[in-house]
Amino acid sequence: MKITSKVAALAAAGAALVLMAPDARAASSNFLVNEGSNQCLTIENASPDNGARAVQGPCVTSRSEWKFVKADEYNYRIVNVESGKCLEIADSRKDNGAPAQQWTCVDGVDTQLWDLWFSDGSGFVTNKNSDKNLEIENSGAKVGAKAQQWAYAGAAGQRWRPVMASE
């Protein structure tokens, strides 16, 4: 009985840490590292413009840094540190392959909201509007490969690891 209750208490504590992880990181900037390529989500050519594509690249500059800003009970805005703009899916699309881009943050826009499912150090970033996961196209490894949404496939290109930028 004692062992069972200790295991249950440890499991509950672990679950609480997983659920709290994005909040704990919200005040600091983070890299979002793709598990398939070990590269970071970034904005193409460091563009400050609305509609600039999200791609993968080296984890070295503020264009690769993001803040997780709590929007509601379950969702976050993912805000680029350099541009101050939100990660979203273009034109509120719901189809597989729809591109991820940045746009001025607007309250009440579901395509700019993300559910962060991190456990064991990595997990999935799911768009509220489409219920599809952020991924790197074809789980590609090259710099500049585009970020897009796709239905859950469990592929490494759909898994992300938040890493505090100061680490």
Give all domains of the chain, ordered by start, each with its CATH number: 2-164 (2.80.10.50)
Q: H-type helices in the chain, by residue range?
A: 2-26
Phi, psi of 58 (to 5 degrees): -60, 150
Residue 39: its H or E element: none
Predicted TM-score of the model (pTM):
0.84
Mean per-residue pLDDT, 124-152: 98
**Per-residue pLDDT, 28:** 86
Compute the distance between CA of residue 24 and CA of residue 55 in angstroms, rounded to an integer.
Answer: 25
C-alpha atoms less than 13 angstroms from C-alpha of 116 in its C-beta half-sphere: 29
Tokens for 59, please give them: 């984890």
* Residues 99 and 53 sit within 8 Å (Cβ to Cβ): yes
pLDDT in tens, 72-123: 999 999 999 999 999 999 999 999 999 999 999 999 999 999 999 999 899 9
